[in-house]
């Protein structure tokens, strides 16, 4: 599925205008059906759809019955995408729309019951290198200027990067990729391109990923939740500096 489209636009500068081809990020509605019942819809970029659905449904604990990824069927009719999941036993929800907008995104996770016990420790220099590589390989953002990215890394390498019009979708895609490929979350780092919201912390901490890193700031609630579960938040990582908001013991200084 193509995440981009070309559209003719007009550039106005000073007293002149010019028509050019511009690259836009495609945003599609993704309707999720479980046992033929529509339970939720998302607005997202139409790439890594299986990873998105897996990460979202497992993180939000909507999928609780017997299932495997072979039970996910994806149909694109051009205007929207339908995802059908077959399983026994699941958490039934009223239809809700989870938008790709930053403030209107919704997470159904309500509580984190246990602290993250993880012996991850990383040098600042390695963190700088990882985040530089993360930004360099966020290719759709470079083409459109409106795409968010998330990545999963260990102390030495980025394992996977996903991009989406929605920040939370990108995180769900990363989590879904790890679940589908049976990659452990132990000693891993979540890299994100935008601000660290409470929903980002909830999704990261749900899988006991010990650290989340961004080039921008966390919210006050994100810091409060992260402190509660021993999740390390790194913000404003730019150049050779960053802020440590919670659990600083994981940074070798």
Could you list the active site residues?
A: 102
Closest of 191, 201, 193, 185 to residue 120, by C-alpha: 185
CB 171 within 8 Å of CB 203 = yes
Query: In this structure, what token pair is assigned to residue 73?
Result: 């069927």
What is the C-alpha separation between 154 and 20, in angstroms, rounded? 41
What is the C-alpha separation between 123 and 155, in angstroms, rounded? 9
Query: In this structure, what token pair is assigned to residue 9?
Result: 């636009």
Phi, psi of 59 (to 5 degrees): -65, -40
CB 52 within 8 Å of CB 172 = yes
Closest of 129, 125, 126, 161 to residue 142, by C-alpha: 161
Side-chain half-sphere CA neighbours of 20 within 13 A: 7
What is the C-alpha separation between 19 and 32, in angstroms, rounded? 39
Beta partners for residue 8, in sequence order: 21
Query: In this structure, what token pair is assigned to residue 253?
Result: 């200084």
Token pair 């479980």 is at which residue?
34
What is the C-alpha separation between 134 and 136, in angstroms, rounded? 6
């Amino acid at each position: 599925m193509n995440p981009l489209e070309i559209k003719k636009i007009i550039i106005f500068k000073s007293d002149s205008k010019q028509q050019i081809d511009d690259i836009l990020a495609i945003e599609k509605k993704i309707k999720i059906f479980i046992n033929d019942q529509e339970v939720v819809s998302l607005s997202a970029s139409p790439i890594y759809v299986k990873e998105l659905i897996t990460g979202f449904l497992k993180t939000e604990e909507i999928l609780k019955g017997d299932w495997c990824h072979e039970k996910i069927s994806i149909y694109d009719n051009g205007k929207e995408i339908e995802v059908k999941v077959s399983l026994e036993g699941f958490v039934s929800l009223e239809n809700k729309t989870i938008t790709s907008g930053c403030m209107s995104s919704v997470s159904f996770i309500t509580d984190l019951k246990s602290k993250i016990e993880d012996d991850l420790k990383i040098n600042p220099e390695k963190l700088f290198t990882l985040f530089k590589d993360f930004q360099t390989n966020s290719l759709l953002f470079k083409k459109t200027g409106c795409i968010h990215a998330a990545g999963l890394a260990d102390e030495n390498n980025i394992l996977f990067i996903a991009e989406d019009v929605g920040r939370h979708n990108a995180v769900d895609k990363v989590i879904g990729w790890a679940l589908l490929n049976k990659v452990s979350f132990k000693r891993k780092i979540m890299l994100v391109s935008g601000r660290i919201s409470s929903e980002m912390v909830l999704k990261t901490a749900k899988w006991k990923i010990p650290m989340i890193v961004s080039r921008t700031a966390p919210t006050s609630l994100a810091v409060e939740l992260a402190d509660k579960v021993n999740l390390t938040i790194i913000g404003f990582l730019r150049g050779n500096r960053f802020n440590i908001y919670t659990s600083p013991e994981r940074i070798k200084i």
